[in-house]
Amino acid sequence: MVTSRRVLVVAVAGIMAACGGESAAPPGDTSGATSGKCGSRDASLALPAGFCASIFADHIGAARHVVVAANGDVFVTLQGGGPVVALRDVDHDGRADSVVTVGSGSGGTGIGLYGGFLYVDQGSQIIRYPLPTGALRPSGGGQAVVTALPTGGDHGARNFAIDAQGNLFVNIGSSTNSCQQLNRSTGSLGIDPCTELNTRAGIWRFNANTTGQIFSSSLRFATGLRNSEGLAFAADGSMWAVTHGRDQLFDNWPKLFNASYSAENPGEELVQVNQGDDFGWPYCYYTTTNGKKLVDAPEYGGDGTKTTRCAQKKNAVIAMPGHWAPMSLLLYTGSSFPSHFRDGAFIAFHGSWNRAPQPQAGFRVVFVPAANGQPSTQYETFADGFAGGNFDNPAHRPVGIAQGPSGEIYITDDLAGRVWKVVYAP
């Protein structure tokens, strides 16, 4: 099936720049800002010392994932079936001067550049548009690479990543919270075995160079990942993912868990993914308070400590606090940031709703340094201030993060439609 294509050039309105730097002790600490070449402190974002955030584009729609071409053009998907937005800084002042929209209803979350094509998710399909080198607009209509992807349920985003060999890995999030017989219902037991795993809650592999592929359960690459909206490849070719933990431990199981425990659990996981890996959902979740490990889910006889069904499941490399909602992952390969950031992982957190009565949290970009080529077990906040101090009614919610050709990074916001450009300029 070929999608329709609509291209429109519009002016960028309301773009402004703001730079800020903060003392970094340790790197990533955003307290006690001091200014360097970036000028005065960024009123919106708090960053480590020497980093500068400017508003590359504003009010473009519900901006989700982002990729950057070799010439610096920025491509962003829009949530809710909107077009893909392409941004170009014509006069090289750090702000987008022109906007081109690609497709009609071709956006969503997933986006990628590979082999002369722009790839985007469109509901149950992955579509590609021919994009000549240096072009801002495709040169032809959309081609369906994958069709019949499962849709509906709790997680409808279809993000993906393409490796150097042309393998197209697609995240298909779970249809339910925890595979209950009655989804999100108090005391409802889990379906056992969870048949949803045949088509959801995992990563599927296709070929980016082939059109007309049809989804099949036999193409599953890894399983037990509730919703991995961030996928990325390390320099050695290994695949990494950040995945959303389940909700409502206290709401659905008040005899086993209190509200405070439920606010902090499960942890949001960073995992390394190989073919055949099983990360445990829905039978397990990652506890941040009882040994930092996978434990049995209450739907399957768990009480927060049992590990009967989880001993053979693959564990996280690191887990962040519960319900921060990781949306994207970038493994940094640039050289313009200090060496501390080389090969480390940037993770954008959207913020969630399931932490009450604790305050809502997330709404930030964190950084996980690399140790001997692998992510460490510690994280630090890199960019903060997106929520504007109001976590119940935030000003911005970070979603996508991508690296530019000079080592700069771009961060998107699906609430106010903003795109930030972050550079190091001490």
Domain range list for the chain: 7-424
- β pairing state of 239-243 and 230-233: antiparallel
Q: Which of 104, 151, 101 is nearest to 125 (CA)?
A: 151
CB proximity list for 14: less than 8 A, separation 6 or greater: 58, 59
Output b/e per residue, 19-46; b: 16+ Cβ within 10 A: bbbbebeebbbbeebebbebeebbebbb
pLDDT at 241: 98
The CATH number for 7-424, chosen from 1.20.120.140, 2.60.40.10, 3.40.50.2000, 2.120.10.30, is 2.120.10.30
- β pairing state of 284-287 and 268-273: unpaired
CB proximity list for 34: less than 8 A, separation 6 or greater: 21, 22, 23, 49
- Rounded to 5 degrees, what angle do the CA atoms 111, 58, 362 make? 70
Helix (H) or strand (E) holding 168: strand 167-172
CA distance 87 to 92: 12
The stretches in the chain having pLDDT less than 70 are 1-43, 104-107
Virtual torsion, Cα 195, 196, 197, 198, nearest 10 deg: 70
pLDDT at 8: 29
User: 213 exposed, middle or buried (CB, 10 Å; 0-12, 13-18, 19+)?
Assistant: middle
CA distance 12 to 37: 26
Residue 130 backbone phi and psi in degrees, to 5: -65, 130
CA atoms within 13 A on the CB side of 32: 7
Q: Which residue has the tokens 């045949």?
A: 198
CA distance 412 to 396: 9
> What beta strand segments (E) does 288-396 contain?
293-296, 318-320, 326-331, 345-349, 364-368, 370-371, 374-375, 380-383
What are the C-alpha distances in Å from 359 to residues 53, 222, 264, 286, 393? 27, 34, 11, 21, 12
Q: Which of 154, 331, 316 is nearest to 239 (CA)?
A: 331
Q: Which of 379, 412, 420, 69 is nearest to 242 (CA)?
A: 379
Neighbour tally for 353: CB within 10 Å: 10
